[in-house]
Amino acid sequence: MNLAGAHREYVSRMLESASGMKVLVCDAVTVNIVSAVMSQSDVLRREVFLIERLHERPHEDMPHLKAVVFVRPTRENVKALAKQVRRRTYGEYRVFFSNICPDGLLQELAGEDIGSVVAQVEEYYADATAVDRNVFSLELGESNSSLMNPAQWSRSVGMAVDRCVEGIASVLLSLKRRPFIRHQRSSEAARRLAADVGRLVYEQEAGLFDFPRTEGAAHLLVLDRFDDAVTPLLSQWTYQAMVHEIFGITSTNRVDLRHIKTLRKDLREVVLSAHEDSFFANNMYANYGDLGASVKALVDEFQQHTNMSKKIESIDDMARFVESYPEFRVKSGNVSKHVALMSELSAVISQRQLMAASQVEQEVVCGTDRAGAFAQVVDALRNPALLEEERLKLVLLFALRYEKEQNQIADLTGILMQHGISRARIGLVRTILKHGGEAARTGDLFGNRSFLGRASKVVGSLKGVENVYTQHSPLISSTIQAAAKGALKQEDYPFVGPSPNGAAAGKPTELVIFIVGGVCYEETKVCAQFNALNTGCHVVVGGSTVLNARSFVDDLLELQNADR
């Protein structure tokens, strides 16, 4: 299964459907879907004269050009497209909908095609952004927080729920899979979403999903972000996750660095794509230390080829070297981008003392010494160099780990108040425990529900770890391993609709995971590493958005407002 590859093939076939010079017409969602799998230069090489948005102000008619239209099958899109078709803005239209298009909308479009300019109408199932070959996002943005509280679901939220159902359906159709469907028992949001997908797959569009099943078959597992509220709050130390945590990565893999005025103009927005950038593909899951060594090795290699003897010992030295030798920037291609990113990451990490904060975070969520963890959090909260964001994260993590220790939690929130943190943000302690506390969870988040889990924590603390900043493993890791072995308990993860018969069918050969509330890059790394083991089960993971700590806290604030 290669979702990005399937989407890339779709886009190629669309653009090749019309010969000669053409225009690519997209909507606000599909333009990102295209951008995620094909660079602008690749699109232009396919004789695309212009890329335009469907809802932009109409320009003069261009009957000499053909239009390849790739849009979501919504009433607003069909209405705007029908208006263009009636006007004959272009001489020919080849229309591709990103998902299942209702018959009524097709009839509406056909009714406006008086001049017979629509030469082709097809459904190409690419209605989710393929962030990587096995990762997808639905980019729900501001609607994401409302998904996380099904008690508040209303008609407006229903549109976000429908978007999730449609996005998951398109992923299954592009992969040509009709899965068995299960969900996290403790989550009403996961249950309702799984039920809606089940109705679509097995009832409303059963014929469309009538793909043959192989032994083991595919499973869809719908999870809730609040089953693991720890992962999005932790500082990250692998390349992709770290960049997203500190600078943010858009769904089209762009990093906006325009606020850093010292960077050259060509580095103020960079693209991190494993498909187009071999260095990033090889290092996206590398930890901070190994990444620095990889970048330095490339700089050293260039020096050897050019007989330069300038001594380079630090990230700053590398940044100065790249700036001083323009020929290196030309020869190295993407590497100068990574040197610049490493330099800026290093500066932020040092300035905000993120390594010190991260060490305390890891002690809280992975250690067994509550008193020691409490003392470290108190010391960290009183560190004047820490930003409000880091202080709040530490208290939220302590509350999740030791939620029964109300006196200590109260002491920590008191220190937050002393540092001027708002009551609204302090109130997030109550919000996160309500939605992500012990009573709301299905998985064994801290490994303390079983004897083996508790024992492994003690052994780990005695033996030590290779890297104190990356001790934590996301809950999804154990969930994937259990699912692949057919060991997920049915009472915890019940099936919706048909369930597999026999031991072999209970062990999926393919597992699609969707996280209501968003997925984290640390979790996509876990999935990639699992796939690399070739265990016989391949994993694709996605979510309503791709989270970092800042966006997760913003969602919590919205959730808190809705709870009032």
40/68 same-domain check? yes
17/89 same-domain check? yes
Among 440, 463, 486, residue at a domain's last position: 463
89/149 same-domain check? no
106/64 same-domain check? yes
- Rounded to whole angstroms, the maximal C-alpha distance in the chain is 77
The pTM of the full predicted model, rounded to 2 decimals, is: 0.91
Q: Return the pLDDT at 456.
A: 44
In the chain, the amino acid numbered 417 is M
Q: Which residues of the chain fall below pLDDT 50?
A: 451-465
Residue 436 placed within a domain: yes
8/117 same-domain check? yes
Q: Return the pLDDT at 528.
A: 96
Residue 559 placed within a domain: no
Q: Return the pLDDT at 504.
A: 58
Residue 562 placed within a domain: no
120/138 same-domain check? no
- 129-132 sheet: strands from edge to edge: 129-132, 135-137, 538-543, 510-516, 218-224, 180-183, 495-496
10/55 same-domain check? yes
Q: Return the pLDDT at 460.
A: 44
183/249 same-domain check? no
Q: Return the pLDDT at 114.
A: 92
The encoded tokens of residue 178 equal 């009709």
Residue 548 and residue 245 in contact, taking contact as beta carbons nearer than 8 Å = yes
341/365 same-domain check? no
Q: Return the pLDDT at 462.
A: 35
Q: How many independent structural domains does the chain possess?
A: 4
CA distances 493 to 15, 87, 147, Å, are 42, 53, 20
Residue 49 burial (CB count, 10 A): 13
CATH classification at residue 281 = 3.90.830.10
For residues 310, 313, 316, 322, the Cα torsion angle rounded to the nearest 10 degrees is: 40
Residue 100 placed within a domain: yes
The encoded tokens of residue 47 equal 């004789």
The encoded tokens of residue 90 equal 């272009």
Among 351, 369, 395, residue at a domain's last position: 351
Q: What angle do CA 90, 92, 94 make, to 5 degrees?
A: 115
pLDDT tens for each residue of 274-330: 988 888 999 999 999 898 888 888 777 766 755 555 666 666 776 666 666 665 555
Residue 523 placed within a domain: yes
Residue 450 placed within a domain: yes
Residue 196 placed within a domain: yes
Q: Return the pLDDT at 156.
A: 60
182/277 same-domain check? no
The domain containing residue 310 runs over which residues? Answer: 239-351
14/97 same-domain check? yes
Among 88, 108, 126, residue at a domain's last position: 126
529/449 same-domain check? no
CATH classification at residue 78 = 3.40.50.2060
